[in-house]
Amino acid sequence: MTEILEKPTGEKSTRRPKQRGVRMPVTRVVEDQGERSKQQRRGAGKALVIGGVPRVDLLPTEVLIDRRQRTIARRAWLGVVVVGVATVLGVGAATVTNVSAEQHLRLAQSQSTSLLQQQGQYSAVRDTEARTGLVQAGQAVGGSTEIDWSSYLQQVQDSLPTGVTISGIDVDSASPLATYAQASTPLEGARVATLGFEADSPTLPSVPDWLDRVHGLPGFVDANVDAVTLDETTRHYTVNMTVHIDDSAFDGRYSEETK
């Protein structure tokens, strides 16, 4: 209630009304202010929601930090478990692959042993094949410079004019063991064989015509008429001709391409 006292001067003075009740301690007020400041700091980073349900996080900061640390620890242990499971699966797959590879290796080794045993039964045939291959190689080397002279001379005879016959032959051909000697004259081409022959002609031969005729022989390089002589007894002419031949005249009978 309010009491009005009169001063000696006759003026009225008013005192503040006395409020009766329980007074809060000073320390409790300070703690309440600290809690509100903490709540304000925690909510400072959150967005303001207008019209939402009011919520207040009254948990201490230490509790929140502890929860975060536990969450991080759980995630770390989960990662360790995942890595461990992946490692176990990888080791298992590698083990299975290794076992399968060893089985295939043993199977291949057993097949190889079986094949070797079967080959041993035909050792005589293998030796014969080896000797045959050696003979064939020797034939290929020895016959690499071979010319079918029988066929070649027949072609020479066919190239001569009618009534002309070959009376003598001189053949000089290359050998697989030595290089054939080449001509020293620059205008003469490379050759592997030289064919010299004598031809008997009842008439005086036309040298240009003879040279044109032999020009179509296999491996022809060049040809020369060395001499033309007349036999007084028979009245026939003897012609000495030389024909140079290159490697296209080889018959290649024993080469790999003709097999």
Question: In this predicted model, what pLDDT tens digit does every residue of 24-35 receive, in sequence order?
Answer: 444 444 455 555
- Model confidence band, residue 196 (pLDDT cutoffs 50, 70, 90): very high
- Model confidence band, residue 86 (pLDDT cutoffs 50, 70, 90): very high
Q: How far apart are CA 195 and CA 223, in angstroms?
A: 9
Q: Counting Cβ atoms within 10 Å, is residue 213 exposed (0-12), middle (13-18) or buried (19+)? A: middle
Give the Å distances, CA to CA, from 232 to 128, 168, 178, 236, 245. Answer: 63, 19, 44, 8, 34
Residue with tokens 């012609």: 239
pTM check: above 0.85: no
Of 71, 208, 106, the C-alpha closest to 98 is 106
Q: Which of 85-89, 143-147, 211-215 has the highest mean pLDDT?
A: 85-89
227 or 30: whose pLDDT is higher?
A: 227
